[in-house]
Structure 1
Amino acid sequence: MERQLTTSPVPAESGEIWLVMDSRSIGGIENHVFILADELRRHGLNAVVVLMADYGSSPNINRMKRLNLPYRLCQNTQDFLRQLKAHPPLLLHSHGYKAGIICRLLGRWYGCKVVSTFHSGDLGRGRVRWYSLIDLATAFLGRRIAVSRAIARRLPPPVTVIANFVSLPPRAAVQPKPAFRVGFVGRLSHEKGPDLFCSLAALHPRAEFHVYGDGPMRSALEADYLGHVEFHGFCADMSEVWPQIDLLCITSRAEGLPLAALEAMANGIPVCSFAIGGLGELITHGDNGWLLPAGDLNAMSQALHEWQQLPTAEYRRRQQCARETIRQHYTPETALPQIIAVYQRALGPQASRLHG
């Protein structure tokens, strides 16, 4: 039996744009899709979030209800195919490797136009690596958006590079003087490097180290760094967290363009990061943050010492620069016209149907 849940009725309209993902939890891709869906609808496009599988209780459903976003919940891939045939959309826009592979193959078979956004700078390991390689091998079957130039270089041309984006808060969560609170925000898994972040804590006893996120490495990290790092778990509403962070550290081994970095900077929080993925384009060393050689913990430790020595006036300048970077280059006003232009190129003569 087909199961379809929506915050409001989703009619079988030919002008629907399906934002498709396969998701068990909320992370960077999910937050990006929710922001994108909301902004597309504000611009008059009939965007619908489609979850390809039902994994039971999901924070994604609650988040979409709070945002009043229309969505389709599929039981599995077969149910996704049934809904695709029953309510053919105008366009499929996939996010993540599994959604990308399936949408492009089904789109080619059923004649549906497909756009895929490639978010991840990490090929992964084991089964995830195989999915990632198939994702790259089938990329030519749809229009391609990459969130960073580094990811774009792995894809067949032409590729449109469109950075992730966030809404600029009306007021930045800035502090007049840093309290030396260092934050890590993300999944506690190998590619995100939470172990590298935690290893910095013992070297900086004057600073507080806070981890916001969950994942397979959490138990081991809590056992190893008890007393040095405070673990807060997954936080559904980061707006309450940003005022508690003075510096965001990104110690990932691979990245695309993490939304955590954009959200931090939008709130006036400088970012200290390895130069990986799109972070090298986002961060200007010594201006809105610190950009360090990939994997160089000694350099990051030195940057933390420098941060702790900053005069208040210089710290405030970097806060302002971080926020201004987002305002100029990483808001919906910058990204939406580019995304809609990709949709128009994918649809060709049908582009006029985007707005109903």
Structure 2
Amino acid sequence: MKIMQITSGQGVGGATTHCLLLARELAQRGHQMTLLCPPKSWIAERAATEGFPVLQSELRRWPPDDLRRIADFVRQAGIELIHTHMSRAHSFGILLRWTTGVPCVATAHRRSVQLHWMFNDLVIAVSNTMRRFHESYNLVKPNRIVTIHNFADDRTISSQPGEVRQDTRQSLNLADDDFLIGTIGSVVPSKGQLYVVRALPRILAEVPRAKLLIVGELESESYVDQINREAEALGVSSHLLWAGRRDDVHRILPALDLSVLASLKGDFPLALLEAMAAAVPVVASEIGGVGECVEAGASGLLVPPADASALAAAVVSLAGDSPRRRAMGEAGQKRLFECFSTESQIDGIEHALAEVVRRARAA
């Protein structure tokens, strides 16, 4: 198939990472990929070495010059399917569909009420809760939406050599007996890093060698300032480590003793799947489709969002029980490879896209 993947994501995040991994995997299976993304974006830089065409556009609907330019490319290149990720890309994809007649598939990474959803030939929901949302609020017909859960780069993450843990911890100036808690994701209020900081005093009362590593693009300076101010007020600044954006998360994960996801909203976070691939136990907010990913009590612990006390209690309960952490990490990795492996999820997406193309050809 000749497929155009479109994302409007500027920075690194779950949806843009998903789009890049998907394009790479489909290209390796022999499909002809084209990526359309914003100029100077993270994905534009990363995709430059992937071997498929990368077009750049701000994806504006008006004036229509860009739409005409991309529509001309779609026709000339014989693109058979448009596949979109993130809000502005979804709207642009539907305009391309109307302009060129090429079918459009949208992957729903987030919940939003917008008109474009009902005009897609297919919507891929990354969880069952996401699917139900779009059926209810965006009036997507049941025969035009399918659940295919997210996936991570499990092969790269799970194959890290044993010395990576020690090397990474040394680079962070950590002692062997430091208990490293990691939270990975863009540093914005919706990711809830502030609640992990608020949980630190209680955690440190029981686990005095605990350290919190915050990994992710610093998208909100005001939020970063708020986190630092509260850490200072709580007396935990010396236990807080900032890593910023990292393109080597696969090397960070083995260094963690525990991964925490304190998001206030979201659905099927890539960060959870990455932790599971690395056999790192998780404590996560019970939001969206997280319960479809983490088996509570088996592969991790779930807590209410925005509840620093519950978060601290969960972390403390695992920090003092190394065998339980190891068992949870192994159970999470096993669940990932059984239910959400790259291979199985790409199989599902490839089949869904091929069916849309088949129907379009038959029409």
Which segment drifts farther, 203-212 or 218-227? Answer: 218-227
Structure with more of its chain in helix, by fraction: 2
Which of 44, 66, 71 is the matching residue for 2:30? 44
Moved over 4 A (4+): 172-179, 349-352
- Are 2:231 and 1:231 equivalent residues in the alignment? no
Deviation at residue 80 of structure 1 after TM alignment: 4.3
Contact 2:32 2:52 (8 Å CA) reproduced: no
- The answer to whether residue 94 in structure 2 is matched with residue 94 in structure 1 is no
**Residue correspondence of structure 1 range 1-356 to structure 2 within 5 A:** 15-51=1-37, 53-54=38-39, 57-74=40-57, 76-77=59-60, 78-88=65-75, 89-121=79-111, 132-134=112-114, 137-142=115-120, 143-155=122-134, 156-158=140-142, 159-169=145-155, 170-171=158-159, 179-205=178-204, 206=208, 207-213=210-216, 214-216=218-220, 217-225=223-231, 226-310=237-321, 312-349=322-359
Whole-angstrom CA distance in 2 between matches of 1:317 and 1:81: 55
Q: Which residue in 2 is equivalent to 1:3?
A: none
From the superposition, tell whether residues 173 and 215 of structure 1 become closer, same or farther in structure 2 (CA, over 3 Å): farther
Question: Displacement, 1:75?
Answer: 5.2
Change over 3 Å in CA distance of 1:259–1:81 after alignment to 2: farther
Q: Distance in 1 between matches of 2:177 and 2:159?
A: 18
Q: Deviations over 1:42-76 (max 9, x none)?
A: 2111122111x32xx43323311344443212255
Q: Equivalent residue of 1:92, what SS?
A: strand
Question: What letter corresponds to residue 219 of structure 2 in structure 1?
Answer: G
CA-to-aligned-CA distance 1:142-200 (integer Å, 9 cap, x gap): 11111011211121232201111123235367879985211111111121112112211
CA contact (8 A) 2:187 2:219 kept: yes
Secondary structure, in 3 states, of the residue corresponding to 2:336?
A: helix
Taking a change above 3 Å as real, the CA distance of residues 70 and 325 of structure 1, as seen in their structure-2 partners, is farther
CA distance in structure 2 between the aligned counterparts of 1:293 and 1:87, rounded to whole angstroms: 46
> Once superposed, what is the RMSD of the aligned Cα atoms?
2.3
Amino acid corresponding to residue 91 of structure 2 in structure 1: I
Distance 1:81 1:26, change over 3 A: farther
Count of matched residue pairs? 322
How far apart in 2 are the matches of 1:49 and 1:86? 12
Residue 129 of structure 1 corresponds to none
- Mark the runs of 5 or more structure 2 residues left unpaired by the alignment: 135-139, 167-175, 232-236
Superposition deviation, residue 38 in structure 1: 0.9
Q: Is the 8 A contact 1:178 1:315 kept in 2?
A: no
Conserved 8 A contact 1:74-1:80: no
Mapped to 1, the partners of 2:266 and 2:177 lie a distance apart of 27
Whole-Å separation in 1 of the counterparts to 2:305 and 2:56: 39
Q: Cα distance 1:178–1:31, how it changes in 2: closer, same or farther (>3 A)?
A: farther
Q: After TM superposition, give the deviation of residue 299 of structure 1 in Å.
A: 2.0
Confirm or deny: 8 A CA contact 2:20 2:47 kept in the other structure.
Answer: yes
Looking at structure 1, the residues matched to 177 and 108 of structure 2 have their Cα atoms a distance apart, in angstroms, of 36
Task: Output the CA distance in 2 between the equivalents of 1:290 and 1:173.
Answer: 27
Task: Give the letter for the 1:58 counterpart.
Answer: S
With 328-337 and 175-184 compared, the bigger mean Cα shift is at 175-184
Unaligned 5+ runs, structure 1:
1-14, 122-131
2:200 touches 2:312 (CA, 8 Å); kept in 1? no
Look up the SS of the partner of 1:339 in the other structure: helix
CA distance in 2 between partners of 1:245 and 1:351 (Å): 49
Q: CA deviation at 1:223?
A: 3.2
TM-score (norm 1): 0.84
Instruction: State the alpha-carbon separation in 2 of the partners of residues 111 and 249 from structure 1.
Output: 44
Contact 1:184 1:212 in 2 (8 A): yes
Structure 1 residue 107: Cα displacement: 0.7
Q: Quick one: which amino acid aligns to residue 215 of structure 1?
A: E
The offset of 1:239, in angstroms, is 1.8
Render the CA deviation track for 1:101-158: whole Å, top value 9, x for unaligned: 221133134311000000014xxxxxxxxxx432xx2211111111011211121232
* Cα deviation 1:267-326 (Å, max 9, x = unaligned): 11111011111211111122111112333332221111111121x333222221111111
Please tell me the residue identity of whatever aligns with 2:117.
Answer: A
Distance (Å, rounded) in 2 between the aligned partners of 1:58 and 1:179:
36
- What is the CA deviation profile of residues 181-221 of structure 1, one whole-angstrom value per residue up to 9, with x for unaligned ones? 11111111121112112211222222111101112112322
Contact in 1 for aligned 2:203/2:313 (Cα 8 Å): no
- How far does residue 347 in structure 1 lie from its aligned partner after superposition? 2.0
Residue of structure 1 in register with 2:169 after alignment: none
CA contact (8 A) 1:20 1:94 kept: yes
Q: Which moved more, 1:211-220 or 1:173-182?
A: 173-182
- Equivalent-residue separation in structure 2 for 1:284 and 1:81 (angstroms): 48
User: Which residue pairs with 1:7 in the alignment?
Assistant: none
